[in-house]
Amino acid sequence: MQFKTFDILPHGTTIDFVGKRRIAVVLSLIANLTILAWSIGHGLNFGVDFAGGTEMEVKFDRALDPGDIRRSVEALGFKDASVQTYGPVGEHSFLIRVGRIALMSQADVTRVVDAVKARFPVSSWAFDPESGDKIDFQFGGAVADRDLLAAVEGAGVKVREVREEAGLTAGSRSFAVITQGIREKVEHDLAQRFGDARPEVRRVEYVGPAVGRELRNQGFKAILYAMALIVVYVGLRFDFRFSPGVIIALLHDAVVTLGYFAFSGREFNLTSIAVILTVVGYSVNDTVVVYDRIRENQGKFKGRALTDLVNLSINEVLGRTFLTSFATALSLVGLLVFGVGTIFDFASAMAVGIISGTYSTWFIAAPMTIWLEERAARRSAARPAAAASR
């Protein structure tokens, strides 16, 4: 059987990748330092997953200026409000995010608790601002939910729901009083200001600040752990002399992918962590192919300089690397054209990561190994000279 061949890149290329490593390293350093400086100076647009707060998806029947919506929300007292277009422009959907979860202040809670205690035998009560606008009451006797609702609203706080729950002890009654919170306030204001656009709240998400910080920290730890395990794998499969090049290449690709979110201002959330992990895995796959070919050529061309072996190996798999990257990029076209929200961000960041991963395979990982080998050789040569001078 004879297979047909389709070559975008010709066989037998002799591109000097190792010779261009200094230019590549300088360009990569400039890009990485710029991204890190921008991220530190301007900050990432952390989503509600990481920053905590309330996020609402609101759809309108006509086009609106996101700035007008943001000013409307800020006028309600949410000075940290952000509004971002969500999905296709024709859908007129926006993500509205504020940094608070509970609308009630401590003074509101105290007023409600005092009003309820004045009418009912309250055994205990609890309020957690990270759980939303909800006060849990434990009563020692019988209490009607309509009477409890009247007592709370008599204190000047509107109630969305009074929900009875299982009592903690026999004979006790427990109720969760859920007051009208951020969603109701924003929804009511949008209906008043943009009533002709018929605003519709489609989705509301709440994440506490402590939970958001924990998710963010665990996400970045996952990236570091993945890189560490990859380095160990490369060291065990090939040689630990190759590991530093892999570390540099992986850090380069992770930072460049992060740059998409830093410069575009798109939301950085748990999906973004998944993108970076995917890019890291994709990048090391290409690097392992090159390292495999270097190991094969070391056996075939014994005594040949490592610089020549690296150049030869990269050129031999150049077509494969390019076609693999091109095919992977093609799979993202549909997501880029039809994807919305986090799906579009995933595809866009992946496209950036694929380009970066291909570049780092050619110019960073293996060529950096050459630089480390040359540095080690110079040090070894310097030791006898230093000893002889004594």
* Tens-digit pLDDT profile for residues 309-351: 888 888 888 888 888 888 888 888 888 887 767 788 889 999 9
Query: d(Cα 209, Cα 137) in Å, to the nearest integer?
Result: 24
Comparing C-alpha atoms, which of 350, 250, 254 is closest to residue 35? 254
pLDDT digits (tens, 9 = 90+) for 213-229: 788 888 888 888 888 88
The CATH superfamily assigned to 18-45+208-377 is Multidrug efflux transporter AcrB transmembrane domain (1.20.1640.10)
Q: What pLDDT is stored for residue 390 in this prediction? A: 59
Q: What pLDDT is stored for residue 58 in this prediction? A: 92
Query: d(Cα 177, Cα 329) in Å, to the nearest integer?
Result: 51
Confidence class for position 361, pLDDT limits 50, 70, 90: confident
Which carries the bigger pLDDT value, residue 362 or residue 340?
Answer: 362
Query: What pTM does this model have?
Result: 0.71
Mean pLDDT of 288-295: 84
pLDDT above 80 for 169: no
Domain ranges of the chain: 18-45+208-377, 53-101+183-206, 106-180
pLDDT above 60 for 170: no
53-101+183-206 has which fold? Alpha-Beta Plaits (3.30.70)
pLDDT above 80 for 182: yes
Question: What's the distance, CA 54 to chain centroid?
Answer: 18
Confidence class for position 352, pLDDT limits 50, 70, 90: very high
Could you tell me if 95 and 51 are in contact, meaning their C-beta atoms sit under 8 angstroms apart?
no
Query: d(Cα 383, Cα 31) in Å, to the nearest integer?
Result: 36
Mean pLDDT of 136-161: 86
pLDDT digits (tens, 9 = 90+) for 14-59: 788 888 888 888 899 999 999 999 988 888 888 777 877 888 899 9
CA dihedral 128, 134, 140, 143 (to 10 degrees): 170
CA atoms within 13 A on the CB side of 93: 13
Q: Do domains 53-101+183-206 and 106-180 have the same CATH topology?
A: no
Q: What pLDDT is stored for residue 30 in this prediction? A: 93
pLDDT above 90 for 284: no
106-180 has which fold? Gyrase A; domain 2 (3.30.1360)
Task: Out of 113-122, 204-213, 291-300, 322-331, pick the least confident.
Answer: 204-213
